[in-house]
Structures are given as C-alpha cells and as structure tokens.
Amino acid sequence: MSDDLRAYVAEVGDSAKSFKVHGFVRSVIRAVGFRYFKVEVIGGHHLNTPGAAIIAPVHRSNLDSPLVAAACDRRFRVLAKESLFANKAASWFIAALGAYPVERGTADRESMRVMRGFLERGDALLVFPEGTRQSGDTVGEIFDGTAFLAAKGKAKVIPVGIAGTGEAMPTGTKFPKRTPVVIVVGEPIDPPGADGKRVPRSALADFTETIRDALQGVLDEANQRSRSRR
C-alpha cells in the first residue's frame, strides 16, 4: 500500500466536509434502513461514550457496520480492505465515513499503528472481535487483538449484540429481506493497564474472555428481544 494513499485517506478523514457527509449518510440510514428493518436499539447512549472507545459488535452480516454506525452519534474509524480504495471517488466517500485501508492477508503493522493513533487522540474505533462473519447464537472464538488495542490506546470497549441481520442478509445475499433487527449495547468496559502499568499477556487473555462474556450477554439479550417481537 502506498504512502500517498494513506496520506490521502488521513487528510479526507480529518476534513470538516467528511463529517458533514457522515452526518448525512447516518440520517439516511436512520430514516430508511431503521424503518425498513424496524430497528430497536437498547442502551444506545453507550455508543456515544466520550474519549477513546472500541465499539465491539458481534458479526453476523454486512448490515452490522452501517446499522451500528447509524445508531451512534459519533463517527467511528474502521479498517476496510485496500481494494475498496481503488477508485478515487469511492475512496473519498468511504474515507469520509471513517474507513482506513488495510492490506488483507498481511501483517499490516502500519494500519494497526494508525488505529492506535486514532484511539490515542480520543477517537472511536469499530472492531469485530470475532473477525469474520459468524452464524448462530454463540459468540465465536475471539483473539487478543481487541484487548491489545484497548490496552495500548487506553480505550473502553463497548460490547454490542445484534439479532436479525444474519437472517435479513446472510452471506451471498444481494438484497436484504425485511427482518426486524435488535441492537443491544452493553456498558463500556475499562481496559487493562488503565493505571499505566505494563499489561502482561495473561491480563490480555483474561480481558479477551471478559469481552467475550460481555458479547455473549448482549447477544443473548438481543436474541431474546428479537424472538419476543415475532
């Protein structure tokens, strides 16, 4: 990935115009998408927790990112595959929405460094702890990446459970069907190392399990509320 692309994306993402574009897109999703999916948001105020924060949803569908983004008043940063930035117009648009390019299949340490930089300056970051899309009512295996970012960026982790998006738009689907969606946002979790001390690997592993337990809790609540609406 070229330094020119990174610099361009960073410049666009910090521009005043990008925040206006983000606000407009968020309004459209709320007006159209929320009505179409009859979205119910529980605990949504936690998404607006000030300061460095990692918004950590379960991942069941491509609908997860835009719906969670629309439920949040803050604009968050998110990693996106580099190929999405190939077209200049598309590159400007997704950069304005807060996306930053990452090289898939590589240890892109530069992108991770940038994400830590976003957190250190007080931004919000979207990270799917499960990584790729999963299915079912059980949170999949998660790795220490989210815990590592939280510790390094001194960021609170905000667990988000989502029910209905997997049914609305499963893998391979081109157009979503009208299925009610429930989003449950849990209370922010303080990161390890908040006292400034070095965080050992064992503490990261423990925090990863804390995140997984919190995710399972909000996912269970989202599923329960979703079933009660049917």
DSSP for 25-64, written as a single string: HHHHIIIIIHHHTT-EEESGGGGG--SSEEEEE--SSTTH
Q: Is the pTM of this model over 0.95?
A: no
pLDDT the model gives residue 106: 53
Q: Which residue has the tokens 């999703």?
A: 29
Dump the DSSP string for 143-164: -THHHHHHHHHT-EEEEEEEES
Instruction: Please name each of the domains of the chain with its CATH number.
Output: 3-229 (3.40.1130.10)
Give, in degrees to the nearest 5, the angle at Cα 118 between 183 and 67: 20
**What is the Rg, in whole angstroms, of the alpha carbon atoms belonging to the chain?**
17
Between CA 112 and CA 130 the distance in angstroms is 17
Please, what are the averages of pLDDT over each run of 10 residues along the chain (230 residues)? 81 92 96 96 96 96 95 91 85 92 66 85 93 89 88 94 94 88 97 74 91 97 88
pLDDT of residue 93: 93
All residues at 6 or more sequence positions from 93 whose CB lies less than 8 Å from its CB, including other chains: 21
Q: Distance between CA atoms of 146 and 31, rounded to whole angstroms? A: 31
Beta strands in the chain, from DSSP E residues, in sequence order: 40-42, 53-57, 76-81, 99-102, 124-126, 156-163, 182-185
In this structure, the number of other CB atoms found within 10 A of the CB of residue 105 comes to 7
Q: How high is the pLDDT of residue 87?
A: 85
pLDDT at 104: 64
* pLDDT for the residue 43: 97
Fill in the DSSP letter of residue 189.
B
Q: How far apart are CA 171 and CA 168, in angstroms?
A: 10
Q: What is the DSSP letter of 102?
A: E
> Widest CA span of the chain, in angstroms?
51
How would you class 101 by CB atoms within 10 Å of its CB: exposed for 0-12, middle for 13-18, buried for 19 or more?
buried
d(CA 129, CA 126): 10
